[in-house]
Structure 1
Amino acid sequence: MAESWHLNGGVHGMSPVKDASLIAEVDQFCYALGGKTPIHSILIANNGMAAVKFMRSIRTWAYETFGSEKAILLVAMATPEDLRINAEHIRIADQFVEVPGGTNNNNYANVQLIVEKAEMTHVSAVWPGWGHASENPELPDALKAKGIIFLGPPAAPMAALGDKIGSSLIAQAAGVPTLPWSGSNVKISEGNCLESIPDDIYHQACVYTTEEALASCQVVGYPAMIKASWGGGGKGIRKVHNDEEVKALFKQVQGEVPGSPIFIMKVASQSRHLEVQLLCDEYGNVAALHSRDCSVQRRHQKIIEEGPITIAPLETIKQLEQAARRLAKCVNYVGAATVEYLFSMETGEYYFLELNPRLQVEHPVTEWIAEVNLPAAQVAVGMGIPLWQIPEIRRFYGKDHSGGYDAWRKTSIAATPFDFDKAESIKPKGHCVAVRVTSEDPDDGFKPTSGKVQELVFKSKPNVWAYFSVKSGGGIHEFSDSQFGHVFAFGESRALAIANMILGLKEVQIRGEIRTNVDYTIDLLNSSEYKDNKVHTGWLDSRIAMRVRAERPPWYLSVVGGALYKASTSSATIVSDYVGYLVKGQIPPKHISLVNSTVSLNIEGSKYTIEMVRGGPGSYKLRMNGSEIEAEIHTLRDGGF
């Protein structure tokens, strides 16, 4: 494929000329705050929601900091499928570079391709987002060799903590509690966390055969999880309750993530999934930016996220934060990360689950309650700026000479370092709830759908806002991630945030060839279990197993709508046939009528026969079972009804 480089609003093949004063301003910002390398341009090695959110955050930060949203050049990657559906991230970018289509190993997960495009576009840095190549240690090393900044952790801590087995061993060494697992008795010293774990020690924590898995499950106790260390997104993980299930499911885990080390971990029943957001610089400073609760999950995929944590006591939340900080410092972590825990509602104990060495989908929850622009903070850390110099971080810890990024000149002159181990953060700002909008069909086992999106309407409010990777006239292609939207709602309390979210989702209008989870999620938010904060990580799967469906509109609305649609779409054919007879000088047969017609419908196994009487253009009387109503149908500008 020939290399193609396109400029949005520019001329193909020519690099846009940036204002020299903006370049100097970015340089001054970097050096005044103690940074080492200014970042003037960024390749976004991702698409969809990740790319859209990052670009919007950087635009906001650039305008606030430098007086121009274009101070940092943003370069997108675009597959043929992205171009075909007019993907939003392409429109927002300053430039886009074409990459091969198909599965992500051809494009967004292809390390060699990303490095080639970064070199070709002469960017200062690469942002990996989440998924794709974001957790591949080869990417930061390959970029470093070319003198390009990676907006994420170095390869060594990424490899150590991105591996579920290695991270659990490191967590144990850092004094972070872990659930009983196949590596519970395997020890490494805290001083060895910076080095790669010796193979012989690592292998002691793994299981390689069905027999070893059986033995380990019997030691940790049932129910247990068989987990692939390289798994994620619901892949390479199975819950087992007895020996027979281990025998049946172990090979499935092996097959889903070929070559991955596998381990066994005890299941914490009735547990919550809690998280701590970290931000770390290259000087050993680690900030814990409040917490999140992501317990509403379907097959280990998060559906609803919120923050801060409300199910655990404040003292426990502080322990979660300090344990997360110890873990990051143990491996000299740099960048944004999330430490995940399981919290037992019965005992109040917490256990390390994993560390995600990247920004997470739900990070805007933290941005709202902590008032920190996380993508902007990633760029600042990438420039080599220490955390104590970043105005928003100083504000988070209640320090002098802080504020928004427009305060950077004041900060650069008057700010002094402080001890992050002893610093107390400000209280979270209210409560924030987030809902992932996906193109999945809840009535068909949450099967992903794709196709055109004729209409997407969302009206933001002061307390409800959203990001979408699709707009009206666009679509979801077959290689897209199923999530195409993220809606956020704020409230002074959890109850108010939930209420605002429900009202906001009810105003989302999506029409097209896809199905979505919006109505289903409204039903979840309205449930007493969720409102009363009594959910756990298995709650949604149990609900699905019981076939609890979202409340649907009354049946007669489907009948009326279907009848009007069939009558309206067939009227043009009827008129044409009727006129055809008249042109020939013939009397139209009785079964062809411009006024009366009969419509038959089959809706979810029920048959309906409706007599239709046309009163004028788009106006009908509908009769069925002795009842009669009048209704109208109108055509929208985009062809819908």
Structure 2
Amino acid sequence: MAPAEPAAKRAASGDLDAAANGDGMPPVMADGRCNSRALSFSELQSAGANPQRRGLPKRAPSLTKLVDDLVDELKGDKSINSVLVANNGLGAVKFMRSIRSWANQTFGNSRAIALVAMATPEDIRINAEHVTLADQFVEVPGGTNNNNYANVKLIVQVAERAGVDAVWPGWGHASENPELPEALAARGIRFLGPPAAAMAALGDKIGSTILAQAAGVPTLPWSGSGVAISYEDCGGVIPQDTYDQACVFTLDEAIEACAKIGYPVMLKASWGGGGKGIRKVQSDEDVRAVFKQIQGEVPGSPIFAMKLAPLSRHLEVQLIADRHGNVVSLFTRDCSVQRRHQKIVEEGPALAASQEMLRDMERCARALARSVGYQGAATVEYLYSIEEKKYYFLELNPRLQVEHPVTEGITNVNIPSVQLLIAMGVPLWRIPQIRATFAGLEAKLEPEQFDMEATPQRLPDSHVVAVRITSENANNGFKPTAGHIDELMFKPTPEVWGYFSVKGGGGIHEFSDSQFGHLFAKGETREAAIRAMVVALRDVRVRGEIHTIIDYAVDMLTSPLL
């Protein structure tokens, strides 16, 4: 007999109001577990799966006490015992594995923090790994992400009904929507990310560049050159007339701005990303040809023009900020190897600039984050001009980046766990992992406060190279592919590790992110890390209906040009 259609899938609106119980969530039994009419996850998996994965996980009081005691020791202000992972795919898998690892090391119990997943019917159908890893999953409407992982109203509903203490947004989806932290804060639910005001100010490429100029961060010539106002002076909201001075609204304005800057120029939509809403132009004719394309790819987005820096590297600074005004930088990454503005190979620490220059980039990044009262993980992206030996601000991403494990590999800092501790109100200088990155400090629970700006950090003594594994056909214009995966085999070693959002027997569905894997190789030198990565990639086996870029990545890593 055909299985019943999931109740959440039948919901007509973008939230759960039409699902199961009429109130946005499956019916709840007397013991607190959900009893949805939808097909249970255990029926969709092989025999022996835990049928209570759909229910609110029962929690032993001893686990709650472990978390409470840690928060007391580290002088936090709120225990977080459960987290809703408002994401899917690789992001959700990485967060869950990181929190499980940290909880096991910290409490001796990998499930000390309850993790609640959101799952679309498509995720369930392909046996998505994040659903399997979760203590509980809540089925949400399928289709494009505006129905589920990018739907703020839905996420808040799920968080409230599941009774979680916090929400982790991941990357993509709703991770940069200020409405999410604002709505959660109104309900007393912690957000593992920045407050709404800082996110709104820095998540916009134009606004963040205006604030960066005010904070003294170098910028390339652009349509907003000379436009500056500090976060403090504007109260967190850049006046519209100031903002508009940095934008180009018409084709004629775009041509005029590009001519003033000097070709070549990049025309960008402020709300764009992932290669959308961005074009290189080298003449007035190019601007005429692409301006409407940019408008169409990111409808309604403000557009700006910025000088194209030739012979440059794409360098990043990883930031972590707490709720007490402290900011730490965890060194740099080089993400210059890209295709269509999508990162393919990431590595760290950056080697293209001098150590003095890298430290100055980190200092400017910290100053920018501090100036807006930032909290959580962030990445400041720069262009480094090889010819000029100068760096220029690109943008600040107010979330955790896909490539953050590169930083984890060179610092031994479990960044998602630090995000969790920050949300618990723990000061950075009390977190043992963070203290361990500074010279002369012991990683202990009863530390003394220290000046994080004046105290030198321990420089990385290794190099990490990362490769994104996507379900694209490199022989057919990198066209995304979807379908069943019969076999997925990867053998980690002490030098190479990785994360996958699916396993053999699963698949990539039509709404999945094309990236389903991420491999990391560590070595004493860059060359050693690359050699280890090449060996690992050649051993990866993916058999099924999808194509991958693995062979393409091997060819690229073995090219003398890299």
**TM-score with structure 1 length normalisation?**
0.80
Matches of residues 130-145 of structure 1 in structure 2 within 5 Å?
Answer: 130-145=171-186
Q: Is the Cα contact below 8 Å between 1:368 and 1:429 reproduced in 2?
A: no
Indicate the SS of the match to 2:468.
strand
The residue matched to 2:270 in structure 1 has which SS?
Answer: strand
Counterpart residue identity of residue 385, structure 1: V
Counterpart of 2:462 (choices 419, 430, 436) is: 430
Name the residue aligned to 2:93.
52
Residues in 1 aligned to 2:519 and 2:102: alpha-carbon distance in whole angstroms: 21
Q: How far apart are 1:399 and its partner, in Å?
A: 4.3
The Cα of 1:146 is off from its aligned counterpart by: 1.0
Alignment of 1:236-635 (within 5 A): 236-402=277-443, 410-411=444-445, 413=446, 415-530=447-562
Query: Number of paired residues?
Result: 521
Inter-partner Cα distance in structure 1 for 2:473 and 2:234: 44
Give SS of 2:499's match. strand
Q: Is the 8 A contact 1:194 1:330 kept in 2?
A: no
2:53/2:135 contact within 8 Å kept: no
Once the two structures are superposed, residues 142-198 of structure 1 have per-residue CA deviations (whole angstroms, 9 ceiling, x without a partner) of 001111100000000100000000000000000000000000021324642642111
Name 1:74's counterpart in structure 2.
Answer: 115
SS at match of 1:249: helix
Determine helix, strand or coil for the equivalent of 1:117: helix
Distance in 1 between the 2:72 and 2:450 partners? 20
Structure 1 pair 14/274, CA: closer, same or farther in 2 (3 Å)? Answer: closer
Q: Give 3-state SS (helix, strand or coil) of 2:359's partner.
A: helix
Asked whether the equivalents of residues 198 and 236 of structure 2 are also in contact (C-alpha less than 8 Å), the reply is: no
In 2, distance between residues paired with 1:128 and 1:328? 19
Amino acid at match of 1:24: K
Counterpart residue number, 1:177: 218
**AA in 2 matched with 1:304:** V
Deviations 1:237-285, CA, capped at 9 Å, x for gaps: 1110100010110011011111111100010011100000000001111
SS in 2 for 1:342: strand
Farther off after superposition, 422-431 or 371-380: 422-431
Deviations 1:541-593 (A, max 9, x none): xxxxxxxxxxxxxxxxxxxxxxxxxxxxxxxxxxxxxxxxxxxxxxxxxxxxx
376-385 vs 20-29, greater mean Cα deviation: 20-29
User: Where does the alignment leave 5 or more consecutive residues of structure 2 unmatched?
Assistant: 1-18, 27-33, 35-39, 42-48
Contact 1:193 1:331 in 2 (8 A): no
> What residue is the counterpart of 1:618 in the other structure?
none
Partner amino acid, structure 2, of 1:181: W
Distance in 2 (CA, whole Å) between partners of 1:475 and 1:13 is 22
How many angstroms does 1:429 deviate by? 3.4
Aligned mates of 2:518, 2:338 — CA distance in 1:
15
Match of 1:155 among 181, 184, 196: 196
Q: Which of 99, 116, 128 is the equivalent residue of 2:157? A: 116
Q: 1:101 to 1:13 in 2, by over 3 A?
A: closer
The one-character-per-residue Cα deviations of 1:209-228 (angstroms, maximum 9, x if unpaired) are 00000000000011101101
Mean CA deviation greater in 192-201 or 12-21: 12-21
Tell me the CA shift for residue 420 of structure 1: 1.3
Answer whether contact 1:275 1:291 (CA < 8 A) is retained.
yes
Match among 125, 132, 136 for residue 91 of structure 1: 132
Structure 2 CA distance for aligned equivalents of residues 51 and 227 of structure 1 = 29
Change (3 A) 1:194 1:371: farther
By how many angstroms is 1:13 displaced?
6.8
Residue 591 of structure 1 corresponds to none
Encode CA deviations 1:472-524: one digit per residue, 9 max, x unaligned: 01000000000000000000000000000000100000011000000000000
Structure 2: distance between partners of 1:158 and 1:429: 33
Which residue of 2 is the match for residue 620 of structure 1? none
Distance 1:94 1:449, change over 3 A: same
Shift of the 14–467 alpha-carbon distance from structure 1 to 2, 3 Å rule, reads closer
Post-superposition shift, 1:72? 0.2
Q: 1:50 Cα shift?
A: 0.1
Larger radius of gyration: 1
Residue pair 2:53, 2:134 contacting (<8 A) in 1 also:
no
TM-score, scaled relative to structure 2 = 0.91
Q: In the alignment, is the contact (CA less than 8 A) between 1:170 and 1:193 conserved in 2?
A: no
SS in 1 for 2:218: coil
Contact 2:53/2:136 (8 A) holds in 1 = no
Match of 1:65 in 2: 106
Q: Distance in 2 between matches of 1:274 and 1:13?
A: 42
Contact 1:51 1:89 in 2 (8 A): yes
1:173-212 matched pairs, under 5 angstroms: 173-189=214-230, 191-192=232-233, 194-212=235-253
Letter in 2 for 1:121: A
**C-alpha distance in 2 between matches for 1:445 and 1:506:** 22
Is 1:37 the equivalent of 2:69?
no
Q: Quick one: which amino acid aligns to residue 246 of structure 1?
A: V
Which amino acid is the alignment partner of residue 360 of structure 1? Answer: Q
Which amino acid letter does the alignment assign opposite residue 472 of structure 1?
G
How far did 1:401 drift?
3.2
- 1:89-122, CA deviations, whole angstroms, 9 ceiling, x for partnerless residues? 1001111000000000000000000000001110
| 8 Å Cα contact 2:333-2:350 kept in structure 1 | yes
DSSP 3-state at the match of 2:475: helix
1:528 counterpart SS class? coil
Structure 1 pair 12–62 and aligned structure 2 pair: CA distance change class (3 A) = closer
Could you tell me how far apart the structure 1 residues matched to 2:55 and 2:270 are? Answer: 45
Q: Distance in 1 between matches of 2:95 and 2:53?
A: 24
Distance 1:10 1:196 in 2: 48
**Partner SS state of residue 11, structure 1:** helix
The DSSP-based 3-state class of the residue aligned with 1:319 is: helix
1:219 and 2:275 are equivalent in the alignment: no
Q: CA separation in 2, counterparts of 1:525 and 1:12? A: 41
